[in-house]
Chain A
Amino acid sequence: MSATPSLSQRIDVVAPENEGLWRLLSRCAMATPFVFVLVFFFGPLVWLVLTSLSTHELGSAPRLTFSLEHYRSYLGDPFFLINSVWTTVRLAVLSTLFALVIGYVLAYYIAELPVRQRGLLTSFTVVSLAVNIVIRVFGLNVLLTNNGLLNSSLIWLGLIDRPLRIMYTETGVLIGLVQIAVPYVVLPLIGMLASIDPALREAAASVGASKMRTFWTVTFPLSIPGVIAGTLIVFTLNAAAFAIPAMMGGGRVRMMGMMAYQQASINGNFPFAAAVGICLFLLSLIITIVYLYVVNRKFKAAR
């Protein structure tokens, strides 16, 4: 036997006395993320559900009565359905569609570039996400107000006589939502498109497919996972949008996030606000599930 212990022996020497402690610590470390999610995500959600089922009386705290009155008065009222639920769905879906089209073209272009330039433009996209949303809205404001850059250019060019009203209209909010959304579509799509083997497109050309046909039958179906990732992020983000409709809608464009905020902070009706929040959550969930179901059926082989 040699005097120096082998590596495995040396490990054994350290282990015995601390073994139990180490095991406990490592278990705790493993559990941390789960505890975090449980406490900071499910906790508030449960609280929100309970609040939405409480009765609201002016001046006193909500009382848990398991009543569905707030849901009934929100979803049962055509005014709310049209002005808030439908506005939210319409704007979220439209902004997702526009962002997808714009983002896809950008991503396609970026993915075709040589690796270095691709990396550069990808980091530009990431940087654009880092700009604070309030600053971005002010930027859009400068561009879109009645005597802003866009309107004065169009008038100068003689294309219009009177400024177009964009700020504080639904169109303005839509532009804002799309602007926020585009990078979220571009990022997953760049990776997806760049990973498609160019030989797959060449093979399509070799059997006679034009560029258009190759795109719709090969490139697009293979990029579906990227499309799904991008659109899901954007849709859920924009369905719950608050800052954009608040700052660009001028109080006239009532998306559900804003509606909940108004109910809670102006009317002090927390249970009603909670009910709106839960409705928003369920709405997003249902639309997402339907969307995934449809896309998966249509492109089930793409992945």
Chain B
Amino acid sequence: MTSPGIDIELNGCSKSYGAVPVLDDVSLQVKAGDFVTVLGPSGCGKTTTLRVIGGFITPDVGEVKIRGREVTDLPPYRRNIGVVFQNYALWPHMTVFDNLAFGLRIRKMGREEIAAQVDKSLGMVRLEGLKDRYPRELSGGQQQRVAMARALAIDPEVIILDEPLSNLDRRLREDMRIELKRLQRSLGVTMLFVTHDQEEALSMSDQVVVMHKGRIQQMADPRTVYQRPATAFVARFLGNANFLAGRIERIEGGAALVALDAGGVTPAAFSSPVRAGDPVRIVVRPEWLSILRDPAAGGIRAQVREVIYEGASIRYGLAFPYAGEDLVFVHELVGANTLNPGDEVSVNVSNAVIVTED
């Protein structure tokens, strides 16, 4: 049974090439109208996931459903999924019009109907008037829009996008992010977007799926993924993370009190079950730390080792006693009271999360 309103569903999909697993028991559900990002480093299985949904790869085990219809063994051309490829894959021997009309002719639409649909799709990506151009005569950004329009033109059930913005320069990429998100919201079309860019994932998505080594590490909304990373990998891959070791003292009102090896006790959130006495690793985002100028102010004592000027802010690398060689990094807005290497300070932890290993 599929619950209504689920557009893409993977159940226990695995795929390996020889002895190398590229997809390991992947299950996920994408709600109708959602923008879901699959995020991970290269080789994590995110593109394989997309190709399984698109039908270009058949999983060894598991099933794929699109709008409740089982499509696991259907070839791509029987799925009605719009695909935007990383290099756009526009047919170089066809004009923009023919690129868009290709799928419509297969659907045996009439000449006028095709022309109307092509115009509509080009309008959505604001590319009217370039119908007679060949792909090579377009800029990278324009090609990207044509690829998007081609996927939209066939009126697909869902659209999957394979790092579509990675070939654009930074400025254009940021503009396209906003535009793509706006387009998706206005059309209400379900999109699954594969990327290795955490900023893209956090800024565009309703849900973020973080993958590593063929497995889903965490699937949640962007805030949760950032604020409550489930694993050390997620914490490291999204944003900056400081790791501290400690031991759980007791559990109190949904938070664990962790005695840090570096000294001091801090409450930490947790997502998987923990018990008092367990040794744990906690993640502390740089912005969850604040530096007190007085080393005796009651926080964890630390020494400033590195001072990195970054324009609007300064990044301090702090060394805790008994915390190993790793420096803990803290950002501070540039103010009057700049610290120098060697200064003794005290650090306050306002938030922390217990993570499991990868």
Listed in ascending order, the chain A residues whose CB lies under 8 Å from chain B are 197, 199-200, 202-210, 213, 217-218, 221-222, 299, 301-303
Contact = CB atoms under 8 A, between A and B. Distances in A.
A208 B93 contact: no
A197 B82 CA distance: 18
Given A199-B85, A222-B93, A204 B56 contact: no
Interface residues of B, number: 31
Interface of B: 54-56, 75-83, 85-87, 89-95, 102-103, 106-107, 134, 150-151, 153-154
Contacts of A213: 106
Contacts of A208: 77-78, 80, 103, 106-107, 154
Contacts of B154: 207-208
Contacts of B56: 202, 205
Contact of A301 (B80, B134, B153): B134
A285 to B, nearest CB: 28
Given A202-B54, A222-B91, A303-B93, 16 more contacts: A197-B89, A200-B89, A203-B150, A204-B102, A205-B55, A206-B79, A206-B151, A207-B103, A208-B78, A208-B103, A208-B106, A210-B77, A213-B106, A301-B93, A301-B95, A301-B134
B93 A202 contact: no
A299 B93 contact: yes
A185 to B, nearest CB: 21
Nearest to B82: A206
B227 to A, nearest CB: 36
A197 B102 CA distance: 18
A209 B83 contact: no
Contacts of B79: 206
6 contacts: A199-B89, A204-B77, A206-B81, A208-B107, A210-B77, A221-B93
Contacts of A221: 93
Given A197-B87, A197-B89, A206-B83, A217 B102 contact: yes
Given A206-B83, A209-B102, A213-B106, A222 B92 contact: yes
For the residues of A in contact with B, the DSSP-based class is: helix
Contacts of A205: 55-56, 75-77
B76 A206 contact: yes
Contacts of A197: 87, 89
A204 B101 CA distance: 11
Contacts of A200: 89, 91-92
B85 A209 contact: no
A199 B91 contact: no
Contacts of A203: 83, 85, 89-91, 150
A207 B95 CA distance: 16
Contacts of A299: 93
Contacts of B91: 200, 203-204, 218, 222
Contacts of B153: 207
A207 B106 contact: yes
B190 to A, nearest CB: 16
Nearest to A214: B77
Contacts of B103: 207-209
A204 B85 CA distance: 12
Contacts of B76: 202, 205-206
Contacts of A204: 77, 91, 102
A207 B93 CA distance: 17
B142 to A, nearest CB: 17
Contacts of A202: 54, 56, 76, 83, 85, 89
Nearest to A203: B89
A43 B55 CA distance: 62
A208 B77 CA distance: 4
A203 B151 CA distance: 9
